[in-house]
Chains A and B, each alone.
Chain A
Amino acid sequence: PLSTRCCAPSSAAPAMNCRAEVLEVSVEGRQVEEAMLAVLHTVLLHRSTGKFHYKKEGTYSIGTVGTQDVDCDFIDFAYVRVSSEELDRALRKAVGEFKDALRGSGSDGMGQISLEFYQKKKSRWPFSDECIPWELWTIKVNVVNLANEQERQICREKVGEKLCEKIINIVEVMNRHEYLPKMPTQSEVDNVFDTSLKDVQPYLYKISYQITDSLGTSVTTTMRRLIKDTLAL
């Protein structure tokens, strides 16, 4: 269910400063989760910092971000993610829903999952805060069905190679050092970062997905908010 209290939904057209990156993958059904997690975690690795601790005079110190290797079971691939169980859980939840939706009726195995980073701009009551996206990652997924084990083995390797390319693409984008929100003051930090996790601090993000049904039309299934969006206005 859509929470109506927080930000108004982002407009269809991205804001002026929002850069958009699109990645496409073709995977077997059982590889969907791992492939999505690999991409999302790689993006969030670059878009998370340590927890801020504000001190007086507007200075702050930053906590430490740990990392860990994750091996995929269905893909010949490994990736690095931030060491945060909360973050991992949140991503797995979203990806799980996406996977179920892909499998569900009315889907021909095509869909896309989006990771959007945004900033909040407070508005005065009764208007809800605005969410201004500044970076949007879209992963288009095409689920293939394979007939036998030999094909599956080849798919394991091929998808692994493809994901390596995607990681390189992501890193290329990250390296452009384009717009990033300004480091916020203490009062503004929740407008820029998700401060709800206890060990790391990603930029505010939301994950949504769309499934293309067999008629080829796009059905927006859910907007899922993964931030603590019960702000009292």
Chain B
Amino acid sequence: AMDTDLSSQDRKDLDKFIKFFALKTVQVIVQARLGEKICTRSSSSPTGSDWFNLAIKDIPEVTHEAKKALAGQLPAVGRSMCVEISLKTSEGDSMELEIWCLEMNEKCDKEIKVSYTVYNRLSLLLKSLLAITRVTPAYRLSRKQGHEYVILYRIYFGEVQLSGLGEGFQTVRVGTVGTPVGTITLSCAYRINLAFMSTRQFERTPPIMGIIIDHFVDRPYPSSSPMHPCNYRAGEDNGAVYPSVEDSQEVCTTSFSTSPPSQCVFTVTKAHFQTPPPVVTDTLKVPVMGLAFSHQLSSSRLSYQPAALGVGSADMGYPVLLAGGLNAAHPHQLIGPGKEGGVPPVPSQPAHGTQADQERMCTPLDGVHYSAATPSSSEDTETVSNSSEGKCGSPHDLLETIFIRKVGAFVNKPINQVTMANLDIPFAMFAPKNVELEDNDPMVNPPESPETESPLQGSLHSEGSSGSSTGNTHDDFVMIDFKPAFSKDDILPMDLGTFYREFQNPPQLSSLSIDIGAQSMAEDLDSLPEKLAVHEKNVKEFDAFVETLQ
């Protein structure tokens, strides 16, 4: 076939297709990580606005961020659009989970029809993306986000950076579409190991903005202790730098609700503290997500490995962080860059807070709140890291941040501030405390059978058991009480329930047991000739009998 150049109309169409494909790709990925089930309606009459004939909602903030990242350009060779999905815990640790890459390579398909084939194949590719976004490990993580961690996204354009995914990351290809100007490729590289970030790395990317996850219930501590929270945004224009205890500290939290547009909520709140954020009162063991993660993400044990700094490029993305950072050497204490190390200990007092106007952190019901990175956030990284390294003294072995536990909607009593357990490792909450967890999990280790066994157990497990009456340790059902209906019987001196219990484990039939069976088999065989002889003798009787039947 002739090698025809792309007509200008085709070229324009193709560029438009690629642009909207990129935008829709971002929407699908981000929406798949909101933690909610997505549902859109089919419509038989074309509305003209549904790109690629698929009903994919457009979350305005996401489109805005995508357009910002693309800056009027299209994916091209060497210029890929990447959507980075990461996880941020309430302690402030973050970890990259996935990088979705929309790339273009040089392999051109000059003969393909743009307005028809390319369009339909792009539509097919989006469907594949819908399917694949549900099967990578981050999907299940994102469905459970809200309390201990949140899922964040970041869009960048340029070279793909996979170094933040840890070792041994896996890649899944979503699909490719050939076009006259190159082949579009969509793939995902995802982390399979929950590797810890080194504390050194954590120092370099300390908390930048604070979102207090919960409303303060009480004031944190009395004014006598000079606590300093970790710096929020040094160098920020409004000058919120290293407030001392009594200073009012301005924490600007911008949170978006990225639930479907009909519930879109954009709020900006400022919280004024009279005192720095609260410190620990109690150490509370936070329920570990362990089981789900250890199966999902890795077959290897969690291990401590220094990882390369994942967030290398310009934007910090959308950090969602906690107030405060602590000096390792002195747990339960706060340090700030203004201090040289030791800080007076914190008296344990119930924490108080005045953040009634703080926006509620997201729950899976609401969708994820992403706090926007302010334009100065990238500079902040520098300033803060410098300051914290310079002034925080010796490297931290421990890092602990204050976590304000979210008070659930239906909780009667407020939960005081707590710290996240396991101070010495970030992501400790993900560490499978194997023995403890599994031992405590009734699903994994069913409780021992009670002495008096439930009636149903016996009958249900008769196929599995050897028939012995003491062998019943299966606990698929726990019988609370057995009140059989209509069970009173005048004839028998017992009711149905008692009957059940008494006779639920009858001994096995002797003919079914192997030993006896083997014996009787031998006996049977021996006795066969004898039996045959008897039958032969009576053959006339048998014949007569058969006659009567006919």
Contacts and interface: CB of A to CB of B under 8 A. Distances in A.
Given A64-B55, A150-B445, A175-B128, A168 B135 contact: yes
Contacts of B11: none
B492 interface: no
Interface in A114-167: 147-150, 153, 157, 161, 163-164, 167
A64 B43 contact: yes
Interface string A79-93: 110111000000000
Interface stretch (B172-180, B282-290, B542-550): B172-180
Interface residues of A, number: 45
Contact of A46 (B41, B46, B128): B128
Contacts of B54: 64-67
Interface string B23-60: 00000000000000111111111110010011100000
A149 B476 contact: yes
Contacts of B127: 45-46, 67, 174
Contacts of A67: 38-40, 54-55, 127, 130
Nearest to A51: B44
B464 A147 contact: yes
Interface in B241-258: none
Interface string B442-460: 0111100000000000000
Contact of A174 (B139, B175, B446, B474): B175
A50 interface: yes
B446 A83 contact: no
Given A67-B40, A147-B464, A171-B175, A50 B46 contact: yes
A66 B476 CA distance: 40
B132 interface: yes
Interface range for B: 35 or more
Contacts of A172: 173
B295 interface: yes
B121 A177 contact: yes
Nearest to B477: A149
Interface in A32-87: 42, 45-46, 49-51, 53, 61-69, 71, 76, 78-80, 82-84
B124 interface: yes
Nearest to A158: B295
A63 B48 CA distance: 9
B531 interface: no
Given A49-B53, A168-B172, A174-B124, A68 B38 contact: yes
A157 B295 contact: yes
A224 interface: no
A28 interface: no
A34 B518 CA distance: 44
B67 interface: no
Interface string B101-125: 0000000000000001000010011
A183 B445 CA distance: 57
B140 interface: yes
A198 interface: yes
Contact of A80 (B41, B130, B143, B173): B130
Give the interface centre of A45, A49, A149, A157 by most chain B CB atoms within 10 Å.
A149
Nearest to B38: A69
Given A66-B55, A174-B175, A167 B135 contact: yes
B131 interface: yes
Of B42, B143, B175, B444, most A-chain CB atoms within 10 Å: B42
B475 interface: yes
B53 A65 contact: yes
Given A53-B46, A84-B42, A147 B474 contact: yes
A200 interface: yes
A195 B38 CA distance: 26
A66 B131 contact: no
A170 B173 CA distance: 12
Contacts of B443: 149-150, 153
A83 B131 contact: no
B68 interface: no
B119 to A, nearest CB: 10
A150 B444 contact: yes
Query: Chain A binding site: helix, strand, loop or mixed by DSSP?
Result: mixed
Nearest to B135: A164
Contact of A64 (B47, B121, B174): B47
Nearest to B50: A64
B200 interface: no
B535 interface: no
Given A67-B54, A175-B176, A50 B42 contact: yes
Nearest to A148: B474
B134 interface: yes
Nearest to A153: B443
A35 B179 CA distance: 36
A199 B135 contact: no
A64 B131 contact: no
Nearest to B444: A150
Interface in B133-191: 134-136, 139-140, 143, 172-176
Contacts of B39: 66-69, 83
Interface in A160-210: 161, 163-164, 167-168, 170-172, 174-175, 177, 183, 198-200
A164 to B, nearest CB: 4
B189 to A, nearest CB: 14
Contacts of B55: 64-67, 83
Contact of A199 (B38, B42, B172): B42
Contacts of B47: 64
Nearest to A85: B42
Interface string B280-316: 0000000000000001000000000000000000000
A172 B130 CA distance: 14
> Counting chain B CB atoms within 10 Å of each CB, which of A78, A157, A171 scores highest?
A171
B172 A45 contact: no
Contacts of A199: 42-44
A63 B132 contact: no
Interface in B42-84: 42-47, 50, 53-55
B131 A42 contact: yes
A183 B117 CA distance: 11
A200 B127 CA distance: 14
Contacts of A167: 131-132, 134-135
Contact of A198 (B41, B44, B53, B295): B44
Closest 5 CB pairs of A and B: A175-B175, A164-B135, A66-B40, A69-B37, A68-B39
17 contacts: A53-B44, A61-B46, A63-B42, A64-B47, A64-B50, A64-B53, A67-B38, A67-B55, A69-B39, A83-B41, A83-B55, A147-B474, A161-B295, A164-B135, A168-B172, A174-B124, A175-B174
Given A168-B172, A171-B175, 12 more contacts: A46-B127, A50-B43, A50-B46, A65-B55, A66-B55, A80-B38, A80-B130, A147-B474, A153-B444, A168-B135, A171-B132, A171-B174
